[in-house]
Chain A
Amino acid sequence: MIDRRSFLVASTGLFASAVLPQSAFAAGRDPRFVVIILRGALDGLAAVPPVGDPDFAALRPPAWEGEALPLNGFFSLNPAMPNLKRLYGASQAAIVHASATPYRNRSHFDGQDVLESGFDVPGHADTGWLNRLILSLGQGSKIGAAQKSLSVGTLTPLVIRGEAPLLGWAPQQLKAADPDLAPRLLRLYGETDPALMTVLQEGIDTGKIASGMNPMMGGGGPAGAMVDMAKGAAALMGRDDGPRIAAMAFDGWDTHTAEQRRLTQLLGGLDQSLAAFEQGLGAKWADTVVLVATEFGRTARFNGTQGSDHGQATTAFLAGGAVKGGRVIADWPGLKGAQLYEGRDLTPTTDLRAVVMGVARDHLGADVRRLQTDVFPGALSVKPLDGLV
C-alpha cells in the first residue's frame, strides 16, 4: 500500500516548483501536439482504478470486464486499453489522476466551456486555449500561427477555435445523428409523450434508429468514428508539411447507465485511436504529445442503474514518444467519505491547466507568463508541471 506522501515522491515532485524546468524544447525539433477532448465526462475511477486504495473496492463494483491491467501496484488500467498499457510500459504514456479544471459544478456545457476556453469560469465560448497558445508561439515557427493547425470533426472544438488559422477535416460518416441522442430522447418521451416513445422504441427495436447501445457496430459508431478521426488526423500530421497541432472531440462519455458495457467500447475506441496516432505519425511519434482530457469526473459511488453521475476529479492521459511516461502522476486525495468532494466525488488535487502549461512550455516552447495570462486568463497562481516531456 502506498500512502499519500510516498505517492507524491513517487510521482513528479508536484510542489517542487522552485526547480528550474528542464526544457525539452530546443531549436531544430519539430514537435507535434494533439488535444483530444472527451465530451460527457470520463469516469477516471473506472478508466484508471486505484485498486491499491483500501477504500476503493467497497465503493463501487468494477466498471470493467476481466482483470484490470496493473500499472504500478496502486493504480491499474481498464482492460479495454491494452495499447495504452503497452505505451505506458515503453515510457511513452503517463496518467494524471485526480486532476480537474477549476470548474466545480456539474453542467457539461459549463464544464466544457471551462475546459476548452481556458477561462476559470464558464460562459467564454469564443476562443479556446489551444488556439491562443498557437498565437502565443513564435510567428515564424512551424508550430505557430504561420502553419495551419488541424480541427478534426464537423464541429470545430472550442479548444482550438479562434484567430489562428485552421485546417478542417472530418471523416464522412460523422453525418448521422449522435447515437446517444435516441436513448436520451426515449427517456424524455417516456415521461411526457408515450405515443412518440412507442414510435421511437419501435425504430430502435427494428434497427431503424440508432440505439446508442452498439457503438462498436459499423464505422459510424463512436469507436469507429474515433479511430477514423485519429487515422485521418495522423495521416495529415504525419506529412512533413502537415499541421503540427490538432484538436478533436470524442462524444459519448456521459455514463449514467450500464457504464461497464459503454466504457469498454468507448475506452477501446480511445485506445485504438492512440494506436492509430502512433502508427500514422511514424517517425514523428517520437516528437509527439497527445493530451486526452475531459470536462469533469463522475461520482465515486455508482448510482442505481450501474452507472455514475456527474462528479469532479478524473484522469487525463498523456501519450506520445515525447512524453516522460511510465508514471501515474497524482496527489492522491483518498476515497474515505470525508476525503470525497461533497461526500460524493473524487477530490481534485491537480489543476489540469498546470499539465497543459508544462507540456506547452517544455514541448512547444511557450512562454510561461503568456500561458498564465493570455492562454489561461487569471491563472497567475498556476505553475506548470515539471518534467512531463
Chain B
Amino acid sequence: MSPDTRAAIAFSRFGLGITPRGLGAASGEAREALLAELKSPPTLSMSLSDVQRDLGFSTALPPTPELLTQIAAYNRARKERREIKAQNQTPAPDTPSMAAPDMAGKPGKPAPLMDDQRLPQAVSFAEVAARLKVWGDARIGFHERLVMFWANHFAVSVDKGLPVRILAGAYEREAIRPHVTGRFRDLLLAAERHPAMQVYLDNDASIGPNARANRNGKRGLNENLAREILELHTLGVNGGYTQADVTRFAKVITGWGINRSGQGDGFRFNANAHEPGPQTILGKTYADDGERQGIRVLEDLARHPATAKHIATKLVRHFVSDQPPPALVERLSRRFIDTDGDLSAVYATLIAADESWSAPRAKLRTPQEYVIASLRALDTPVQPQRFLQTLRVLGQPLWQPPGPNGFSDLASVWATPEGLNNRLDLAYQLSERVAEKTDPRVFAEERLKGLISETTRRSVALAETRPQGLALVLLSPEFMRR
C-alpha cells in the first residue's frame, strides 16, 4: 500500500475526509498521525449571539445547569402565554387582565422568549455552528469521529421533547466529548448520569416501590434506563443478564435524577426516591449505600468481559467492516480488559491492526459523515439551519435516532435509492457553489489522491459541466465509501 493510499484511508476510514490542505496531516506514519490527533482534541467555543444574550446565557454553549434554568423559565413563559391567549379568547372581563403585565405596558417580569422556537433555536444553532467549525478545522477528524461514534452509542433523541432537545448538545459536550479518549468507566458514568439521558430513558421519573417518596404507592419503577444500559450501553443484548437483573438494576438507580436548581452539574440523587435495601445483579450483591450503589454496578458493568466484547465489536464494525473480523474484535476486547477500559489503548490496537488498513473500503459514509466530508472537500461553509435540514433530508437528523440503539452503522441501511437520490441532489447543489473556481479534474486528483480509479478519473474528465464533474467526484465510490 502506497503512503498516499494509507494517508487517504486515514482520512476516509478514520477521519472526516480530506480538505484542500491535502494528505499532509496524515503523511509520514498515518497511524501516528491519527493517534497524535487524540492527544490534542479540539475545544468547542463560540461567541455569544444577541439572541443568547437576551435569553440570559453566560456563554454561547451554556452548561447543563444553566440550560435547565432556561428550560424552566421557558416553560413558565409558555404557560403564561397560553393562559393569556385563553383569556383573550373568553368573553372580555370587566377588568383588564393582570396576567399580562407586559402586554398592558406595565412593569413586570419580561417574558424570556419571543416565540416558541427562540430558545431551542438559539441553543441548537450555537451547538451546530460550534461543531461545524471544529469539523472544518480538524486535521484528520479521528477525534470527532469518535465523538460521533460514542454519541450514537449512548444515543439520546431530541424527539423526547423540549428538555432533551435543548440538552442534547450539552450532553455530547459534557458527557461524551471529554471522555472519548479516557476510560470507558468514566464515559459510562457521565452518560448515564447526565440529565439528558435521565430524561430520555425516563429514569428521572422512576421511584423505588418502597421508597419514602412513594408512601401512597401511586408511583413506581421505570426499567427503561436500566434495560438499555445492560442491552445497549454495556453487556449487549446477549450479555448474560436476566429480566430480574434489569428490574433489580432499575431499583438500584432509583433516585437518580435531575437538579433543576441551577447548581452543581445537573445531576441530583434523591434519597427519598431511592429503593432501600441491597440488590443482587449478575450474581453479585450490592449493599444499599445510596447513590454509590448504582455507581458500583456501573463500574462492574464497565469492566465486564461481555462489555469489552460488545464495545470491541461495535468499534470494529464502525471503522473497519460491516462483518467485523473476529480476530480483530478479540484483540480489541482483550486490550479493553487488560487496560481496564482505557479507550485510547483500544483505539491504538485498532489503528495498529493490519485489517484496519487492508479491509476492502466497503463501508458507506453515513449521511452525517458524507455531508461533513463533502463540505470539507469543497471547502464551502454551511449555515447551521441548512446543515440540520440536509441531515434530516438524508435520513440522519442530528441527535435524533429512531431509538436508543442509535442510527445503524451498516452500509445496506444507507444504500437505498432514496438515499442515493438525495446524495445526488446534495452533491450537485454543493458543487454548483464552488464550480466557478474549481476544476473537477484537479479536484478529483487532489481529493481522491491515493484512491482514485482510472474509471473515475475518466468519468470526471468527460463530464459535461463543472458542477457535474465535481458532483461525480463526490458521488464516486472512492468518496462515498470508506
Which stretch (B58-66, B244-252, B302-310, B428-436) binds chain A? B428-436
Question: What residue of chain B has the Cβ atom nearest to residue A295's Cβ?
Answer: B464
A202 contacts B417, CB within 8 Å?
A: yes
Hey, what's the 0/1 contact readout for A244-267 against B, CB within 8 Å counting as 1?
000001011110000000000000
A17 at the interface (CB under 8 A from B): no
B425 at the interface (CB under 8 A from A): yes
A5 at the interface (CB under 8 A from B): no
B467 contacts A155, CB within 8 Å?
A: yes
Interface centre among B420, B464, B465 (most CB of A within 10 A): B464
A208 contacts B421, CB within 8 Å?
A: yes
B472 at the interface (CB under 8 A from A): yes
Find chain B residues with CB under 8 A from A251 CB.
Answer: 464-465, 468
- A177–B420 CA distance with the chains assembled, in angstroms: 12
In the assembled complex, the CB of B123 is this many whole angstroms from the nearest CB of chain A, namely 30
- A41–B464 CA distance with the chains assembled, in angstroms: 8
A180 contacts B468, CB within 8 Å?
A: yes
Known A107-B461, A125-B436; further 17 A-B contacts with Cβ < 8 A = A109-B439, A109-B441, A155-B467, A178-B465, A180-B464, A181-B424, A181-B475, A184-B459, A185-B475, A188-B459, A188-B475, A191-B455, A196-B480, A208-B418, A209-B417, A252-B464, A254-B462
In the assembled complex, the CB of A43 is this many whole angstroms from the nearest CB of chain B, namely 13
Find chain A residues with CB under 8 A from B416 CB.
Answer: 199
A182 at the interface (CB under 8 A from B): yes
A192 contacts B455, CB within 8 Å?
A: yes
B417 contacts A200, CB within 8 Å?
A: yes
Neighbour of A178 across the interface among B420, B436, B455, B468, CB < 8 A = B468
Hey, what's the 0/1 contact readout for A85-110 against B, CB within 8 Å counting as 1?
00000000000000000000001110
- A192–B481 CA distance with the chains assembled, in angstroms: 12
Find chain A residues with CB under 8 A from B481 CB.
Answer: 193
B471 contacts A181, CB within 8 Å?
A: yes
Q: How many residues of A contact B (CB 8 A)?
A: 42
A154 contacts B441, CB within 8 Å?
A: no
The 10 closest A-B pairs by CB, nearest first: A203-B417, A177-B428, A193-B477, A40-B464, A254-B464, A191-B455, A188-B459, A208-B417, A209-B421, A177-B424
In the assembled complex, the CB of A260 is this many whole angstroms from the nearest CB of chain B, namely 18
In the assembled complex, the CB of B360 is this many whole angstroms from the nearest CB of chain A, namely 11
B418 contacts A187, CB within 8 Å?
A: no
For chain A residues 167-187, which have a beta carbon within 8 Å of chain B?
175-178, 180-182, 184-185, 187
Find chain B residues with CB under 8 A from A209 CB.
Answer: 417, 420-421, 424
- A162–B429 CA distance with the chains assembled, in angstroms: 22
Neighbour of A125 across the interface among B437, B440, B476, B477, CB < 8 A = B437
B480 contacts A188, CB within 8 Å?
A: no
In the assembled complex, the CB of B468 is this many whole angstroms from the nearest CB of chain A, namely 5
A306 at the interface (CB under 8 A from B): no
Find chain A residues with CB under 8 A from B465 CB.
Answer: 39-40, 108, 112, 178, 249, 251
> What is the size category of the interface that chain B forms with chain A?
35 or more
- A181–B463 CA distance with the chains assembled, in angstroms: 9
Find chain B residues with CB under 8 A from A39 CB.
Answer: 464-465
Q: Jot down 18 A-B pairs with beta carbons below 8 A, ordered by A.
A: A109-B439, A109-B440, A112-B466, A125-B436, A155-B467, A156-B436, A177-B425, A178-B465, A178-B471, A181-B424, A181-B468, A188-B456, A188-B475, A195-B415, A196-B415, A199-B417, A208-B417, A209-B421
A389 at the interface (CB under 8 A from B): no
B456 contacts A192, CB within 8 Å?
A: yes
Question: What residue of chain A has the Cβ atom nearest to residue B432's Cβ?
Answer: A155
B418 contacts A177, CB within 8 Å?
A: no
B428 contacts A178, CB within 8 Å?
A: yes
Contact of A184 with B468 at beta-carbon distance under 8 Å, contacts A109-B441, A203-B420, A209-B417 already known: yes
- A196–B418 CA distance with the chains assembled, in angstroms: 12
B427 at the interface (CB under 8 A from A): yes
A206 at the interface (CB under 8 A from B): yes
Find chain B residues with CB under 8 A from A187 CB.
Answer: 459
Find chain B residues with CB under 8 A from A195 CB.
Answer: 415
| Chain B residues proximal to chain A, CB less than 8 Å | 415-418, 420-421, 424-425, 427-429, 432, 435-437, 439-441, 453, 455-456, 459, 461-469, 471-472, 475-477, 480-481
Find chain B residues with CB under 8 A from A189 CB.
Answer: 477
In the assembled complex, the CB of A345 is this many whole angstroms from the nearest CB of chain B, namely 17
Question: What residue of chain B has the Cβ atom nearest to residue A182's Cβ?
Answer: B424
B415 contacts A178, CB within 8 Å?
A: no
In the assembled complex, the CB of B390 is this many whole angstroms from the nearest CB of chain A, namely 13
A353 at the interface (CB under 8 A from B): no
Question: What residue of chain B has the Cβ atom nearest to residue A187's Cβ?
Answer: B459
For chain A residues 265-324, which have a beta carbon within 8 Å of chain B?
none
- A202–B471 CA distance with the chains assembled, in angstroms: 20
B429 contacts A196, CB within 8 Å?
A: no
A231 at the interface (CB under 8 A from B): no
- A252–B465 CA distance with the chains assembled, in angstroms: 9
- A33–B173 CA distance with the chains assembled, in angstroms: 57
- A155–B429 CA distance with the chains assembled, in angstroms: 10
B435 contacts A155, CB within 8 Å?
A: yes
Neighbour of B464 across the interface among A108, A158, A202, CB < 8 A = A108
Question: What residue of chain B has the Cβ atom nearest to residue A113's Cβ?
Answer: B439
B421 contacts A188, CB within 8 Å?
A: no
- A181–B453 CA distance with the chains assembled, in angstroms: 18
- A254–B459 CA distance with the chains assembled, in angstroms: 13
Find chain B residues with CB under 8 A from A161 CB.
Answer: 436
Hey, what's the 0/1 contact readout for A59-78 against B, CB within 8 Å counting as 1?
00000000000000000000
- A155–B481 CA distance with the chains assembled, in angstroms: 29
- A208–B462 CA distance with the chains assembled, in angstroms: 25
Find chain A residues with CB under 8 A from B429 CB.
Answer: 175, 177
Find chain A residues with CB under 8 A from B468 CB.
Answer: 178, 180-181, 184, 251
Find chain B residues with CB under 8 A from A202 CB.
Answer: 417
In the assembled complex, the CB of B299 is this many whole angstroms from the nearest CB of chain A, namely 43
A184 contacts B421, CB within 8 Å?
A: no
Question: What residue of chain A has the Cβ atom nearest to residue B459's Cβ?
Answer: A188
B436 contacts A155, CB within 8 Å?
A: yes
- A200–B477 CA distance with the chains assembled, in angstroms: 12
Question: What residue of chain A has the Cβ atom nearest to residue B418's Cβ?
Answer: A208
- A180–B463 CA distance with the chains assembled, in angstroms: 10
B425 contacts A176, CB within 8 Å?
A: yes
- A208–B420 CA distance with the chains assembled, in angstroms: 9
- A218–B15 CA distance with the chains assembled, in angstroms: 41
